[in-house]
A and B are shown apart, each in its own frame.
Chain A
Amino acid sequence: MKGFLRNSIKKFDWRMLVIFLPGMMYVSIFTFYPIIKMIVMSFYDWKIGFQQISPFVGLDNYKTVFADPRAGISLVNTVVYAVVTVPLQMVLGLLIAVLINGITKFSVSFRLAYYLPVITSWVVVALLFRYIFSNNGLLNYFLLDILKIVDEPVGWLSTRWSAIFAAILLGIWKGIGWNMIIFLAALQAVPKEYYEAADIDGANRRQKFYKITLPSIRGSIVFALIMLIIGAFNTYTPIAILTGGNPSHQTEVVLTWMYFQTFGALNMGYSAALSVIITMLITIITIIVFSVSARGKEA
């Protein structure tokens, strides 16, 4: 063991330091330091003011967060958003990827069309969705004036769940393209020989998909799943623009609520505690996803 250590120190090319030191410094300053600072802040009644003293309050901020029904509402909204958008984005993204992978003509055009929402600004598409779902919006125009299936405009953005539903639709619509690109790249890396062998064995399409395609792109699925879960917990713009958390903070998601507490109410300690809770939640979910997928691999 000692010999190994000595050997690796001897072998270590110190010039490498020059290469990764800038990156390390960047990550330390802009990622690790803020995380540590945030954890520290969560134990204080943090005063951001000029030369103000922040008293240590122990777990008080955490207690306040857990006792605050509005934090609960924002968390439930976020979880619902994640639970619906993540699987639907993946399934639809994979479906489109498989379809595009199977065609030879126009595949670039389709890829471009499905990827377009991804590169469009969140703000722009969220505003568009607001125009579609507002009381005098496009959707109500169709329902009320064209199809005549409702008597008065439906308040899509007016109540909690219908507004979250609009945000979910936006999230899915905007996310499909990203999933498609990830899965398409993975699909193209699956060796053709597998399918040829399966053809010889007389496997049908369904069997090929479940026995060859899915296991081959497992890595991409896990990657997409984790990224999407993190992304769903970080959703901000759709809600900020569609409803602004209104009415009465009923449609807040964790990030909009955090932003309000930080810059609206100046409750830095509260927001820090909420951030720590969310970070832990995401970490736990990620670990579960990893361990489940690793177990699946062994089986």
Chain B
Amino acid sequence: MKRKIIAFTLFFTMIILIAGCSNKESEKVTIEFWHNYSASDGQIEVLENLIDEFEADNTNIKVNQVYMEWGSLKSSVVLGSSTGILPDVLRGDIAFVPQFQSLNVLEPMSNFDDYDLQTEKVLAAPNSSNKMGDDFYGIAANTNTKILFYNKTLLNDANVDVPESLDELWDAASELSNPPVVGMVEPWTGIWNIGPYIWSEGGDVLSPDNTTADGYINSQIVIDVTQKLADLYAANALGGPSMDPGAIGDTDGWAAGTYALQLDGPWRENANIAAGVDYGAIPLPPGSNGSISVLGGENFMQFKTSDEAHKNASWEFVKFMTSKHAQVEMAKVGQMPVNIEALSDSEVLEIMPLLPVFKEALLTAKARPVISQWSEVEDIIASKVAEAITGQKSVKVALDQAAAEIDELLSN
């Protein structure tokens, strides 16, 4: 009896195993797509429709989309690099490329034969954020930069003109400040925030080859710009939660009529419309070196952990998402296209009234250095600049310390 049971069990197990091995009812490839498209702006709904269209055209591919917010998108990839649980394709911040590359998880996208053909269709500047060494580790998904938003009501009330130069911007911030109104807001003090002021005055963060900070982040130009911000902060003309955790956040502050000026991205437009703020926007008023804003946006990235079939399937999906049609659809829910044809599409222009302003700013916008230690470098800068602005240290001392710390980091 016992033997019979054992024989039967073995036979049954074998059947299951064989069935499992030959379970290839179709050659359908399911790709996992992680992203942080915003649900509140209806972007996920558009994404789902686009995926349906893509799946209808590519019957052998199924796209499994997973939403994560910015922070968990990053930490999930960090954890995944150790556990091997990674998506096939991801759409995330352009700043993720060097960080993820340092984790050794990204697959060079430029390995695809038709990569160059595809990149011809997208803006070159945003796509440069994918380049490390000779390879491109992604392709631009959508782009943005920061322009100067101003609260028309507050400017009118204080009888202040829209600034036409950086110096006028500082003056306007001072003139507008009258409690509870704070002239300007910067939610953080990283290069994302202070970079445009530095670049527009002719300064820089690191040497052109990204190997040293001394002589750049502590140059006289950066000292002068930071000093200006410190003076504004001391006069209650500049606020923001990272300098002062008790300060009201930028979105709440705009809605409450606290903040009058902010250099910010396209999301500020949506937020201001939602809050009923009467706003205007212009490219960053030029400094002595012109008007140079900072390049933002998201890229598509692929991972080493996927096999050939999944890599090819995700590349097809990426090509679809960077096509004119998908980019126009995404533009309707606030994503600024990188596809050149989509950028001049009349439908898009109608939906994004500020697009011409952003396009002008994009012509001169600068990318932050694409180096693997960038997030640490930017944290050092953010923390030292905050110390300088809030008066904990003199500007020169703080920036000299930043230069020394960054150089030590870069030399390792």
Q: Enumerate chain A interface residues (CB-CB to B < 8 A).
A: 48-52, 133-137, 152-153, 155-158, 163, 242-244, 246-251, 263-266
Contacts and interface: CB of A to CB of B under 8 A. Distances in A.
A77 B244 CA distance: 18
Closest 7 interchain pairs by CB?
A: A157-B246, A49-B103, A243-B245, A157-B245, A49-B104, A248-B383, A135-B246
A133 B247 CA distance: 10
B18 to A, nearest CB: 33
Contacts of A263: 74-75, 78
Interface stretch (B54-62, B152-160, B385-393): B385-393
A242 B245 contact: yes
A269 to B, nearest CB: 13
B81 A246 contact: no
Contacts of B258: 136
B224 interface: no
Contacts of B386: 246-248
Contacts of A243: 245
Interface string B367-403: 0000000011001000110110010100000000000
Decide if the interface of chain A is mainly helix, strand, loop or mixed: loop
Interface in B63-111: 74-75, 78-79, 81-82, 84, 86, 99, 102-105
Nearest to B258: A136
A248 B248 CA distance: 18
A49 B102 CA distance: 7
A264 B103 contact: no
Contacts of B104: 49-52
Contacts of A52: 103-104
B245 A246 contact: yes
A133 B375 CA distance: 30
Contact of B242 (A163, A246, A264): A246
Given A51-B104, A264-B375, A265-B376, A247 B82 contact: no
A134 B103 contact: no
B241 interface: yes
12 contacts: A48-B81, A50-B86, A51-B104, A52-B103, A134-B247, A137-B246, A153-B246, A248-B386, A248-B392, A251-B245, A265-B379, A266-B99
Contact of B105 (A50, A153, A158, A265): A50
A155 B244 CA distance: 8
B245 A50 contact: no
B276 interface: no
Contacts of A158: 244-247, 390
A236 B215 CA distance: 38
B101 to A, nearest CB: 9
B305 A244 contact: no
A50 B180 contact: no
Contacts of A247: 242-245, 386-387, 390, 392
B121 interface: no
Contacts of A248: 383-384, 386-387, 390, 392
A133 B248 CA distance: 11
A37 B386 CA distance: 36
Contacts of B75: 263
Contacts of B78: 48, 263, 266
Most chain B CB within a 10 A radius of its CB, from A49, A52, A249, A251: A49
A181 to B, nearest CB: 33
Given A48-B103, A248-B384, A248-B387, A135 B81 contact: no
Given A50-B81, A50-B305, A163-B245, 19 more contacts: A48-B78, A50-B104, A51-B104, A52-B103, A134-B248, A135-B246, A136-B258, A137-B246, A152-B179, A155-B246, A246-B241, A246-B242, A246-B245, A246-B386, A247-B242, A247-B392, A248-B387, A264-B375, A265-B379
Contacts of A249: 383
Contacts of A133: 246
